Structure 1
Amino acid sequence: MDTTAWIVIGAVFVLLTVGVAGVLLVRVLRARKLLADAGIPLRDKALLWAAVIYTVSPVDLLPDPVYLDDIGFLLLALRSLHGAARAAGVGRHGERQVEARNLVP
């Protein structure tokens, strides 16, 4: 392969990772509705905002053209937040879930 092909492959890889990081960042910001619920522990809220700050920060574990560390941190924050929301009984869109056993008199 010549140099041009390697440059194209590298550019495609960078664009894909930037795209994935961007999508995850948008999902994290949309999940902020869950932060308003008092049943979500402060640890999970702090992890979410730490992931956002880390993603936009110029200081990274890996150089900025490689967004794999940012993607991993965003995925960890989303997983943690959604797990805490499920444990608190909050649905995907911020509404409280009513348990079936509470409906029976």
Structure 2
Amino acid sequence: MDGKVWLTLAAVVAVGLAIAAAVLLVRVFKARRLLLDAGIPLRDKALFWVAVIYTVSPVDLIPDPVYLDDIGVLMLALRSLHAAAASRSAKEPGTL
């Protein structure tokens, strides 16, 4: 394969990863309503903001054309928020 094919393939992968990161960022913002409940621990609230700031920040562990680190941070935030909400609703039926 020549260089043009590799460049096109790399561009397609980069766009796919950027779309995945954007979708996860939207899901994190949708999960933000879970933060409105005062019973959600501060750690989970802070993780939400860290994930958002890390995703939009130009400073990354891996350069921005590769969104794998951003996706990982967003997935961690989503998992943490949903786990906190689930444990909160399990403790107090009728909430959330």
Deviations 1:72-100 (A, max 9, x none): 0000000000000000018xxxxx8539x
- TM-score between both structures, scaled by the size of structure 1: 0.85
For the pair shown, which has the larger CA radius of gyration, 1 or 2?
1
Q: Which amino acid aligns with 1:16?
A: G
Count of aligned pairs = 94
Matching residue of 1:98: 94
RMSD of the alignment, in Å? 1.6
Gaps spanning 5+ residues in structure 1: where? Answer: 91-95, 100-105
Residues 1:69 and 2:65 are matched in the alignment: no
Moved over 3 A (4+): none
- TM-score between both structures, scaled by the size of structure 2: 0.93
Identity %: 63
Q: Within 2, Cα distance between the matches of 1:86 and 1:55?
A: 25
